Amino acid sequence: MSIQQDKWTPAAENHANRAAKAIDWNRLTKFPTIGIIGGGQLAQMLYQSAISLGIEAHLFASAADESAPKYFRDITRASSESWTPPEIYHFAQKCDAVTFDHELVSPNIVRELEKRGCLMLPTASTLELSANKANQRQRLDELGYSLPPYNICNTLAEIISLGEHWGWPIVIKPSTGGYDGRGVFVVENESEANSVFNSLIAHLPFVVEPKLIIDAEGSVLAVRSTTGECLAYPMVKTLQVDGMCREVTSPGDFPEAITVEAQRVAENLASDLDAVGILAVEFFSIGGKLVVNELAPRPHNTGHITIEANITSQFENHLRAVLGLPLGSTALRVPAAATVNLISSSNNQNIIPRIPHALEIEGASLHLYSKSSRKSRKIGHVTVTADSVEKALAHARLTVDRLSGLELSEG
Ligand SMILES: Nc1ncnc2c1ncn2[C@@H]1O[C@H](COP(=O)(O)OP(=O)(O)O)[C@@H](O)[C@H]1O
Ligand SMILES: [Mg+2]
């Protein structure tokens, strides 16, 4: 997509010289303004941290049913679901730095804004990788990281020959358009591969993998600042159901050597990709060996646990990183914690009357995303801290069961 030149303001050229420059706090006379593109729950939780730091926050969002617009005072509403480059540019000009709630913004637009002097973090080149699974895999491969076995396929014949080579079932992941397992297709045979291929042809090329036997899944967040300071969070363990993250426990019960390796990989990746802010790295443990599944250059669902469990949350550290502030400690401040996502079981599910009963659970922290219920939609999460992972997980599950109406009150 190209920027419509005629709609750019004349200030664009002057502004350009400011490109990629970190905020100089010594020269600030007023609090900086952070711009956030996208109005989901990540924007909502970033805003909560911005309030604590005294940072002004300005949101760019569509008018859709989203979390954050309900809370922000300064909002630029996109004219439609398809955001135009000039309107993003006018928004970005009002901000000292712009960050993202999701990676669905075209990297080409972000690159144009960078050229015109806007401080966009993460940068277009980091976003470009995360927005395309095939590019991401190839880049990680070139950089020498351990990955699951995979091939990049452009034709049905290539996919079928991989099915024959590895044995069915195999897994097809279109390069764009998938999240929360919605872009992960397990196909059992040629005919299923054929129908997935034809229905997703617009998202070629595909990453194709064998269906792996995964011992456990984990994730590590790295946070890297505009100054280059970089820290890794302790590794968490994650459980996915139907490709969607359901539970997170911290600390993850991986062997020490695995945890240390995963933290080192996450820090190296952040620097190799020149990421700024949170970089979330998802790992599979396969036969006791660690491989990188994928990454996301933003606060991540597996990092929500840091709000209660770590000295500095992923949201505060993301803001500190983007704004060039010293990073906060990533260490755990409790012995153990668990997060369980609250996922709608149906459309129009009403959890409100169940909230009091759910919050009777000791240590339960509730985070609701202000989203209407839609079957399989993530509408919130619960975190519980405790002296053991088992206890934290049991209490977090119980809280979510009560909210979902799965656990009936005794009294
Ligand atoms: N090759 C595979 N074999 C088995 N399970 C897989 C494979 N790839 C992905 N999965 C499962 O699906 C989940 C989502 O896949 P992922 O590649 O992370 O896509 P998404 O972008 O939807 O998160 C993973 O966390 C894992 O549980
Ligand atoms: Mg994933």
Alpha-carbon distances, residue 254 vs 70, 257, 263, 268 (angstroms): 39, 8, 12, 20
Is residue 267 scored above 70 in pLDDT?
yes
d(C-alpha 152, C-alpha 138), whole Å: 9
Is residue 293 scored above 90 in pLDDT?
yes
Q: What's the whole-number mean pLDDT along residues 283-308?
A: 97
277 — pLDDT class (breaks 50, 70, 90) = very high
Pocket test of ligand 1: the residue of 184, 206, 214 to mutate, having most ligand atoms within 8 Å of its CB, is 184
8 — pLDDT class (breaks 50, 70, 90) = very low
Nearest ligand for residue 183 CA: 1
Question: Which has more confidence, 410 or 366?
Answer: 366
Pocket test of ligand 1: the residue of 238, 246, 293, 341 to mutate, having most ligand atoms within 8 Å of its CB, is 293
39 — pLDDT class (breaks 50, 70, 90) = very high
Nearest ligand for residue 187 CA: 1
> How far, in Å, is the centroid of ligand 2 from the Cα of 301?
10
Question: Which residue's CA lies nearest to atom 11 of ligand 1?
Answer: 243
> How far, in Å, is the centroid of ligand 1 from the Cα of 6?
43
Is residue 410 scored above 60 in pLDDT?
no
Task: Give the amino acid at 372.
Answer: S
Q: Which residues line ligand 1 (CB under 6 A)?
A: 148, 171, 173, 178-181, 183-184, 209, 211-212, 214, 217, 240, 243, 282, 293-294
183 — pLDDT class (breaks 50, 70, 90) = confident
Buried residues in 1-40 as b, exposed as e (16+ CB within 10 A): eebeeeebeeebeebeeeeeebbeeeeeeeebbbbbbbbb
Nearest ligand for residue 180 CA: 1
Q: How would you classify residue 299: left for phi > 0, otherwise alpha for psi between -120 and 50, otherwise beta?
A: beta
Is residue 10 scored above 80 in pLDDT?
no
**pLDDT of amino acid 18:** 36
> How far, in Å, is the centroid of ligand 1 from the Cα of 86?
36
- In ligand 1, the atom with minimum distance to the C-alpha of 214 is 4
d(C-alpha 205, C-alpha 243), whole Å: 20
> How far, in Å, is the centroid of ligand 1 from the Cα of 122?
24
Question: Which residue's CA lies nearest to atom 26 of ligand 1?
Answer: 243
Question: Which residue's CA lies nearest to atom 1 of ligand 1?
Answer: 211
> How far, in Å, is the centroid of ligand 1 from the Cα of 189?
19
**pLDDT, tens only, 41-86:** 999 999 999 999 999 999 999 877 889 999 999 999 988 777 888 9
> How far, in Å, is the centroid of ligand 2 from the Cα of 350?
28
Buried residues in 207-241 as b, exposed as e (16+ CB within 10 A): bbbbeeeeebbbbbbbbbbbeeebbbbbbbbbeee
Question: Which residue's CA lies nearest to atom 19 of ligand 1?
Answer: 181
408 — pLDDT class (breaks 50, 70, 90) = low
**pLDDT of amino acid 20:** 47
Nearest ligand for residue 293 CA: 1
- In ligand 1, the atom with minimum distance to the C-alpha of 211 is 3
Nearest ligand for residue 240 CA: 1
Query: What's the whole-model pTM score?
Result: 0.94
**pLDDT of amino acid 21:** 62
**pLDDT of amino acid 22:** 80
Is residue 14 scored above 50 in pLDDT?
no
Average pLDDT of every residue of the chain: 92
d(C-alpha 393, C-alpha 397), whole Å: 6
- In ligand 1, the atom with minimum distance to the C-alpha of 173 is 17
For the chain, percent of residues with pLDDT exceeding 70: 94
> How far, in Å, is the centroid of ligand 2 from the Cα of 236?
14
Structure tokens, 315: 């949201």
For the chain, percent of residues with pLDDT exceeding 90: 82
282 — pLDDT class (breaks 50, 70, 90) = very high
Q: What's the whole-number mean pLDDT along residues 263-279?
A: 97
d(C-alpha 37, C-alpha 100), whole Å: 5
Is residue 166 scored above 50 in pLDDT?
yes
334 — pLDDT class (breaks 50, 70, 90) = very high
16 — pLDDT class (breaks 50, 70, 90) = very low
> How far, in Å, is the centroid of ligand 2 from the Cα of 107?
20
Q: Which domains does the chain have, with CATH numbers?
A: 5-120 (3.40.50.20), 149-210 (3.30.1490.20), 216-404 (3.30.470.20)
Nearest ligand for residue 217 CA: 1
Q: What's the whole-number mean pLDDT along residues 212-226?
A: 97
**pLDDT, tens only, 93-132:** 999 999 999 887 889 999 999 999 999 999 999 999 888 9
**pLDDT of amino acid 3:** 41
Q: What's the whole-number mean pLDDT along residues 194-201?
A: 96
Indicate the pairing of strand 74-77 with strand 97-100: unpaired
> How far, in Å, is the centroid of ligand 2 from the Cα of 86?
32
> How far, in Å, is the centroid of ligand 1 from the Cα of 150?
13
